[in-house]
A and B are shown apart, each in its own frame.
Chain A
């Protein structure tokens, strides 16, 4: 078996937080945005990452490509540790990892034309391309994502949100990367447009043999596109499984609660549905609970949960819980 494209071990992203009024020598408090996450991402697969706001989804993605300082191991192709590379060597890898962002319009420079925006990665990584070659590549890519090539001299503000996201995708794919990181690419779009963009991403993935990391907080969106799904909570992985296993048979109480909250587009079924309540608020990531971080809101919490940090195993369906298992009758509201 070949090595996975991306092999992440114990990834940590930590931000020092200094409060106003602190003296320069006061040690800053540490916010653990991502706290020891490990996973493998085989070639051509899509990994969906879900979790509520502030659980570290975006920090995880940014930590992988060193947009924020991170520690741990990120093995690229099984042999290159991205976190130990020199900036120059990292630049070479950056050509193979591209990102699509959440806000379609904000991720495009308003003063640049489409041609300049989509051509920027080529300009950075392919100095051998002449301006003419670059223009051709950009036009071809625009056509591929469903934009008319004659729009090449237009500016981003002349496009709709869905079109802007297509521009963002074209920019990410124009240098033919191997890994595409999508950070909530459809959260800012209408539902009908979401479907179009997701279909486009799936088509492109098949065509270009892309490996993808797809971040979202919408479980149904993640279900459509992912092969495997990871559930994050407060910077830690709760559960990770092939999508059918995760959606049909969730083992972690947090995943079960999340899934029970997904709206069903059928009023009768929606009314009959039982939501598993999650009490209280998200604890501050500056002072996460000891042991299992979910225990403060978990229906199954026991004294043991405060002492031991549950570890996920190496099996296909990984659960970080001391008491995994299907939903119990008493947990339904």
Chain B
């Protein structure tokens, strides 16, 4: 029996291992920029979820006191209860910014989630089976990618009416392809590794190998890419909303609010652009910083 000295020094109780995830978490929280991004994201999320509780007006009622004189009376003020001022019609901008942040975050997160699930399964399957299956599946992705998606998305919104569901579907449809490509590439390099071969030699079936050996080793890449995908989804949604095709009134999104704010900037109501833009930028910065931090934390070799 050969047991090294350090082993014998251990206690008899099963020692908890330090997983690669625990290591990554430690590295992530030591990274200042990533931590800042994380704090920003927590703040923005808390604002979207609980900010409504602080609002004194709902986003849908009109404040008749300021109507018609928005530029003079509708500015940000604690006295009137419009912390961020009102919009062009006299609706409370604070409540609307809360709602817009909710919608934008939801679009981003759901889009990224669809991308993760569909893209990972598709890419891992193509990569693992390889050969002809891989060729057919990836050529299909190439063909889809050649389609001008913004055009299709706008067409969908025009055909089926402006609805948040269509927006989710559209964003989900386009977002998974890049992910599938990345995951496939990673799978190709993973499947040649000996631990996959060991599992195959033992007789573990292909779906189980993908689920148990391939995907857990891809999660780092997926997590990084997903956090960078969320802001892209938010940008797409904002662009669509900016064009006036996004969410339907009285619902709103950050993109729609920025569009309205930009339209009235000439009358001196800078807060109508400023506040939505502030939250928009905070969200994007937060996600990008967190994504960068995750990449550094999960792939320490690549720095």
CA distance A146 to B1 in the complex (A): 5
Distance in angstroms from A298 CB to nearest chain B CB is 35
Which residue of the partner chain, among A65, A151, A171, contacts B7 with CB atoms under 8 Å? A151
Any B CB within 8 A of the CB of A130: no
B3 with A146: CB separation less than 8 A: yes
Any A CB within 8 A of the CB of B147: no
Chain B: which residue is nearest A154 at the CB level?
B17
CA distance A96 to B103 in the complex (A): 57
Chain A: which residue is nearest B19 at the CB level?
A155
Residues of B within 8 A of A149 (CB): 14
CA distance A106 to B198 in the complex (A): 10
Chain A: which residue is nearest B7 at the CB level?
A148
Chain A: which residue is nearest B194 at the CB level?
A107
Q: How large is the interface on B (under 10, 10 to 19, 20 to 34, 35 or more residues)?
A: 20 to 34
Residues of B within 8 A of A125 (CB): 202-203
Any B CB within 8 A of the CB of A101: yes
Given known A67-B200, A94-B203, A146-B1, contact A102–B17 (CB-CB < 8 A): no
Which residue of the partner chain, among B1, B15, B200, B203, contacts A150 with CB atoms under 8 Å? B15
Residues of B within 8 A of A324 (CB): none
B202 with A109: CB separation less than 8 A: no
Any B CB within 8 A of the CB of A249: no
Any B CB within 8 A of the CB of A266: no
Distance in angstroms from B15 CB to nearest chain A CB is 5
Q: How large is the interface on A (under 10, 10 to 19, 20 to 34, 35 or more residues)?
A: 35 or more
Which residue of the partner chain, among A65, A101, A113, A150, contacts B13 with CB atoms under 8 Å? A150
CA distance A95 to B202 in the complex (A): 7
Chain A: which residue is nearest B196 at the CB level?
A109
CA distance A65 to B198 in the complex (A): 12
Residues of A within 8 A of B2 (CB): 146, 196, 200
Which residue of the partner chain, among A107, A121, A148, contacts B10 with CB atoms under 8 Å? A148
A155 with B20: CB separation less than 8 A: yes
Any A CB within 8 A of the CB of B303: no
Which residue of the partner chain, among A103, A158, A171, contacts B17 with CB atoms under 8 Å? A158
CA distance A155 to B24 in the complex (A): 14
B3 with A95: CB separation less than 8 A: no
B 8-46 binary contact with A (CB < 8 Å = 1; else 0): 101111111111100000000000000000000000000
Any B CB within 8 A of the CB of A215: no
Distance in angstroms from A65 CB to nearest chain B CB is 6
B198 with A99: CB separation less than 8 A: yes
B204 with A110: CB separation less than 8 A: no
B217 with A111: CB separation less than 8 A: yes
The A-contacting residues of B in range 158-206, CB under 8 angstroms, are 193-195, 197-204
Closest 10 CB pairs of A and B: A154-B17, A94-B203, A107-B194, A111-B216, A109-B195, A106-B194, A146-B2, A150-B14, A155-B17, A101-B194
The contact sample of 5 A-B pairs, CB cut-off 8 A, is: A67-B201, A121-B202, A124-B202, A148-B7, A154-B15
Taking A109-B212, A155-B20 as known contacts, 8 extra A-B pairs with beta carbons closer than 8 A to each other, sorted by chain A number, are A94-B201, A106-B195, A109-B195, A109-B213, A109-B216, A121-B202, A148-B8, A151-B17
